[in-house]
Amino acid sequence: MPHLNKKRFFSSKKYRREFLEGMFLISIAVLVNFVFGYFAFAYAFYLSFFRWDYITEPLFSGLDNYLKAIDELVKGFFGAKWYEVPFFMGLRNILLYTIIVVPIQTILAMALAAIASSRIRGSSVFTTSYLLPGFTCSVIIALIFIYFFSQRGFINYILNSIYPDFGYPDWLYSKILIIPAMAIVAIWGTSSNFAILFIAAMQAIPRDVLEQARLDGAGPVRRFIHIILPLIKPTIIYAVIVGTVGALQMFDLSFVMAGPQGGVEYSGMTVVLDIYRTAFAQLDPGYASAKAIVFFALMYIPTVLFLKKYGGGFR
């Protein structure tokens, strides 16, 4: 590519116009990201040092909100009553939800991508049908699955057909089953999105590499394990990180399926739902902001450690 002469570039009316148009388009995205990202984070951090009820003047409280949030986590860890520690209950539930969702959705997405990238007859129809949930609103999906998880719903019908003694529990009113229910909905709705990433990564693998492995006697399974997986490692790392962050921030499914109060004994409570309740139901945005900052720190530390250990896949 020839060296670009800066003087000639800015002296050309055409190039100047393209440059200004590009900067204008970029500025819109930067402005939106700044207002709803950096500015919102900075304001939440500032607000976390105050007690405020939206009406009276904010009162500086120092680290009281942070100490209260940490104390709630400690009390929950040592067995406090569920109604005393909604922040701890939300953190416990969302960790369980993440442990269920992220591995399954990643593996399922890779399997779907492998089928879509193969030349099996009907794979294109299968891919199109399975990718449809990725373009559907998660709230609509949750509303549909509320009926499926009822006592006489589709899920219990299928499970009792396989295992007749399973019974007919109401999943959304069960302290044990509500998190798995939300995890099932999330896996069904999001694995197709990650499958698109893996399809792109697999199709970027040179065909001659796979063909050479086939000629050397490697079957489909060996080709997938020894060739495809190492070559798509950066995509796997990206999917795990994005999936983990998205799962930890889950709000819509808990709000719709468990309700704004977090379900039976906060069994469907999540951290973001608790922050929402603290800010807008209990009218304590300072404490809600402190919870958000503490939660951000709890998410940021393991993400950095994960990148330090496995981030070499990006290079």
Closest by CA to 54, choosing from 288, 298, 214, 303, is 288
Compare 133 and 223 and report the one with higher pLDDT: 223
pLDDT at 114: 84
CATH homologous superfamily of domain 63-314?
MetI-like (1.10.3720.10)
Instruction: Provide the pLDDT for residue 3.
Output: 52
> Distance between CA atoms of 211 and 14, rounded to whole angstroms?
47
pLDDT at 125: 66
Task: Taking residues 242-262, report their average pLDDT.
Answer: 92
At 282, the pLDDT band (50, 70, 90 cuts) reads: very high
Instruction: Name the pLDDT band for 120 (thresholds 50, 70, 90).
Output: low
The pLDDT confidence band at residue 313, using thresholds 50, 70 and 90, is: very low
- CA dist list (Å): 178 to 93, 169, 186, 208: 10, 11, 12, 48
Percent over 70 (pLDDT), the chain: 90
Out of 24-33, 194-203, 214-223, 252-261, least confident range: 214-223
Does the structure show a pLDDT above 80 at 122?
A: no
Pairwise CA distance, residues 264 & 250, whole Å: 18
pLDDT at 157 over 60: yes
Confidence at residue 6, expressed as pLDDT on a 0 to 100 scale: 55
Distances (CA, A) of 48 to 97, 224, 285, 306: 27, 49, 8, 28
Of 179 and 313, more confident: 179
Residue 149, pLDDT > 50, answer yes
pLDDT at 1: 44
What pLDDT, on the 0 to 100 scale, is given for residue 92? 96
Q: What's the whole-model pTM score?
A: 0.86
Residue 266 in this model has a pLDDT that exceeds 80: yes
Asked if residue 140 has pLDDT above 60, the reply is yes
What pLDDT sits at residue 172? 92
